[in-house]
């Protein structure tokens, strides 16, 4: 049996835990009906509004802390947050639920009669709350927190889980046991209760004190320094009044000191101050050695936004969404107008930015994004601007010392820049290797095809990938039905094949030609009507973006070509579009292999069919695995 106050009573409810707010919502509905409008004087309504606003405070700090294009040089700890930590902290908002329910209990009791008369503002209440915070909340929290660390049995039962998180995040602040939450609730609630007991309470105090308390907690856990050390130099006493993210990070990692709530003065008086706190704070803020600033990446995957809904899948928006494969969730629909506005802003004045990162065998890998959406790549007027964005990103990577930059999806479109050849030809002295990664994409698709297949139907047959797949399969004496209306392009590809294998490449112009073929390789969108020509039992391999929709229940559909990163990847905590955790698109994986192998050539333009097996074997050698 679990120790008392070490587990949450609603843990078994999962995502349905918010039903505990049912009575509060019912109270608000009743008062709304009785008053014929919003019950602005209802504490039940204010408790629910506070719950939402407090959650947004932590979300704001989480978003800011993970906007690497703002914060990567002022991080305290350089490591990334991985899926293990995300799952561990999944129910981080349990403390908000408990505190809201405790607030409802207090409101419904006669303990604080001053709650019945709502006063919007009373400065005397703020003075009382400040005195109680300094004289009661800070010492009580400090002593209790230190006791949790000094008593092994208490630490193991009630506090160890909180310290399992390797890198602090604002959401880490809320993760803990009910006992820890009760301790924080006492520290937060005592100043408010004291003000109301003295008759100086106000609605402004409740909202204001909750906001300041949550703001400071979220800031401390943000892993990003925000206060300049020059401020502490100008006013030295401030370092004993206000803690910093570096201060808390040391406590979280070392567990030996820095036990205060917000005021390091308590650690000074208790002899538990970590002497490295100020030097680490300075190093982190200045991006100097000793801090956690992200260094120069050695590999960059240059992606772009797919559409407005998927733009909300980035790691700095909602962690619970970005850590699972992308799907259209109804919860995101209210944010669509805001995401649309951001699209317009990025179109007008944004440049390539850092989205995420991970470490592989001690090397920093980053994903950058071109601030353009999928539909913009098909606007003739946008072509020049997109190429300029990609070119600037390549030149920036070259100046930084990046070794390999891999182009994603439409960033390597043949009609846009010839699969990257435009940039390599324009800048022949590039030190960074530019790759499209499609050699490994072709290898993944080809290795999915069963060895006993003798015939395939190929759409998108004259594209870069289609050409490579057709030429590779014909060498294996597999008959390839190449769907294309252009005899000229077909003949050009056929002539590339050795004479003895050219007979295995066959041009077809109708889908009916494949009605007896059960292996379809799809590089062009297929409508339901076109899919009907496939016989029952057909498997659709895909390299079309976006993937086709599976309309046939008697057929099977493959996903886009992808590979799972090696097991020793570190700090990976977001999914790449629709890919599963730890899985990346094959072109991303192709860039990783190019980097790990130390190849010195650019991989742009047409795919070298002779290198397909070479790249595949290299990927397997380095621990990348088929999905």
Rg (CA), the chain: 29
CA distance 54 to 65: 17
Q: pLDDT digit string (tens) for 532-574? A: 999 999 999 998 877 888 899 999 999 889 999 999 999 999 9
Beta bridge partners of residue 505, listed in sequence order: 480
What are the boundaries of each domain within the chain? 11-286, 299-435+564-626, 440-560
Share of the chain above pLDDT 70, in %: 99
Nearest to 77 by CA among 337, 372, 215, 283: 283
Cβ contact 438:406 at 8 Å? no
pLDDT at position 40: 83
Cβ contact 390:423 at 8 Å? yes
Decide: helix, strand or coil at residue 456. strand
Cβ contact 161:98 at 8 Å? no
Query: Is the pLDDT score of 280 beyond 90?
Result: yes
CA distance 164 to 145: 16
Query: Is the pLDDT score of 500 beyond 80?
Result: yes
Cβ contact 279:159 at 8 Å? no
User: For the residues 282-303, what does the mean pLDDT come to?
Assistant: 92
Structure confidence at residue 109 as a pLDDT band (50, 70, 90):
confident
* Lookup: tokens for 496: 């590339």
CA distance 109 to 130: 25
User: For the residues 510-534, what does the mean pLDDT come to?
Assistant: 93
CA distance 258 to 277: 9
Nearest to 595 by CA among 422, 445, 401: 401
User: For the residues 485-498, what does the mean pLDDT come to?
Assistant: 95
pLDDT at position 114: 61
pLDDT at position 112: 65
Q: Identify the residue whose tokens are 């392009």.
A: 489
Q: pLDDT digit string (tens) for 60-79? A: 999 999 999 999 999 999 99
CA distance 356 to 368: 7
State the DSSP H helix or E strand holding residue 406, giving kind and residue range, or none if neither: strand 404-407
User: For the residues 149-162, what does the mean pLDDT come to?
Assistant: 95
pLDDT at position 344: 92
Q: Which segment of 112-126, 344-358, 516-530 scores lowest on mean pLDDT?
A: 112-126
Query: Is the pLDDT score of 363 beyond 70?
Result: yes
pLDDT at position 111: 67
| Average pLDDT of every residue of the chain | 94
For Cα atoms 512, 513, 515, give the angle at the middle one, nearest 5 degrees. 65
Residue 353 makes CB contacts below 8 A (sequence gap 6+) with 68, 69, 368, 369, 371
Q: pLDDT digit string (tens) for 573-611? A: 999 999 999 999 999 999 999 999 999 999 999 999 999
* Lookup: tokens for 246: 């570096």
Residue range 440-560, CATH number: 3.40.50.720
Q: pLDDT digit string (tens) for 22-45? A: 999 999 999 999 988 888 888 999
Query: Is the pLDDT score of 529 beyond 80?
Result: yes
Q: Which segment of 88-92, 226-230, 286-290, 434-438 scores lowest on mean pLDDT?
A: 286-290
CA distance 302 to 265: 47
CA distance 448 to 440: 12
pLDDT at position 292: 84
pLDDT at position 116: 66
Q: pLDDT digit string (tens) for 178-195? A: 999 999 999 999 999 999
User: For the residues 368-378, what does the mean pLDDT come to?
Assistant: 94
pLDDT at position 107: 85
Task: State the number of CA atoms in the 13 A half-sphere of 173 facing the CB.
Answer: 28
């Amino acid at each position: 049996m679990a120790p008392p106050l070490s587990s949450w009573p609603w843990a078994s409810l999962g995502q349905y835990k918010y039903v505990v707010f049912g009575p509060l919502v019912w109270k608000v509905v009743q008062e709304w009906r009785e008053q014929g409008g919003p019950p602005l004087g209802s504490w039940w309504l204010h408790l629910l509004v506070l719950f939402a606003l407090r959650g947004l405070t932590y979300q704001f700090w989480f978003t800011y802390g993970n906007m690497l294009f703002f914060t990567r040089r002022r991080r305290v700890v350089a490591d990334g947050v991985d899926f293990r930590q995300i799952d561990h902290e999944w129910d981080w908002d349990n403390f908000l639920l408990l505190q809201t329910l405790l607030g409802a209990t207090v409101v419904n009791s006669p303990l604080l009669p001053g709650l019945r008369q709502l006063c919007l503002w009373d400065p005397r209440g703020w003075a009382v709350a400040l005195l109680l915070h300094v004289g009661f909340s800070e010492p009580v929290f400090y002593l209790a927190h230190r006791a949790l660390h000094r008593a092994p049995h208490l630490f193991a039962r009630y506090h160890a889980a909180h310290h399992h998180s390797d890198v602090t995040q604002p959401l880490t602040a809320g993760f803990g046991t009910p006992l820890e939450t009760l301790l924080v609730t006492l520290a937060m609630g005592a100043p408010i209760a004291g003000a109301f007991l003295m008759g100086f309470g106000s609605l402004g105090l409740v909202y204001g004190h909750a906001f300041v308390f949550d703001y400071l907690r979220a800031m401390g856990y943000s892993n990003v320094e925000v206060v300049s050390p020059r401020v502490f130099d100008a006013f030295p006493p401030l370092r004993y009044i206000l803690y910093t993210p570096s201060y808390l990070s040391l406590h979280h990692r070392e567990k030996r000191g820095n036990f205060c709530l917000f005021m390091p003065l308590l650690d000074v008086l208790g002899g538990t101050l970590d002497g490295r706190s100020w030097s680490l704070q300075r190093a982190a803020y200045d991006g100097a050695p000793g801090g956690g600033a992200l260094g120069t990446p050695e590999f960059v995957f240059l992606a772009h936004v797919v559409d407005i809904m998927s733009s909300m899948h980035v790691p700095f928006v909602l962690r619970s969404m970005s850590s699972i494969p992308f799907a259209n969730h109804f919860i995101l629909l209210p944010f669509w107008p805001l995401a649309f506005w951001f699209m317009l802003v990025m179109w007008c004045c944004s440049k390539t930015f850092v989205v995420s990162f991970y470490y592989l065998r001690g090397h920093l890998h980053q994903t950058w994004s071109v601030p353009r959406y999928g539909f913009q790549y098909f606007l003739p007027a946008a072509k020049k601007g997109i190429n300029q964005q990609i070119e600037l990103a390549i030149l920036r990577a070259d100046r930084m010392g990046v070794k390999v930059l891999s182009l994603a999806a439409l960033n390597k479109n043949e009609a846009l820049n010839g699969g990257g050849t435009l940039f390599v030809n324009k800048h022949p002295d590039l030190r960074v290797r530019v790759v499209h990664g499609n050699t490994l994409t072709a290898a993944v698709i080809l290795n999915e095809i069963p060895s006993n297949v003798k015939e395939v139907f190929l759409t998108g047959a004259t594209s870069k990938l289609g050409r490579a797949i057709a030429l590779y399969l014909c060498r294996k004496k597999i008959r390839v039905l190449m769907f294309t209306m252009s005899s000229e392009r077909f003949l050009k590809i056929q002539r590339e094949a050795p004479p003895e294998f050219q007979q295995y490449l066959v041009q077809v112009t109708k889908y009916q030609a494949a009605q007896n073929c059960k292996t379809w390789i799809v590089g062009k969108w297929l409508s339901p009507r076109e899919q009907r020509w496939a016989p029952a039992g057909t498997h659709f391999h895909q390299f079309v973006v976006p993937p086709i929709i599976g309309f046939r229940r008697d057929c099977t559909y493959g996903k886009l070509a992808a590979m799972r990163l090696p097991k020793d990847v570190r700090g990976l905590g977001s999914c790449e579009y629709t890919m599963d955790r730890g899985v990346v698109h094959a072109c991303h994986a192709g860039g990783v292999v190019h980097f790990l192998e130390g190849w010195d050539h650019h991989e742009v333009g047409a795919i070298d069919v002779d290198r397909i097996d070479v790249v595949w074997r290299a990927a397997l050698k380095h621990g990348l695995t088929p999905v």
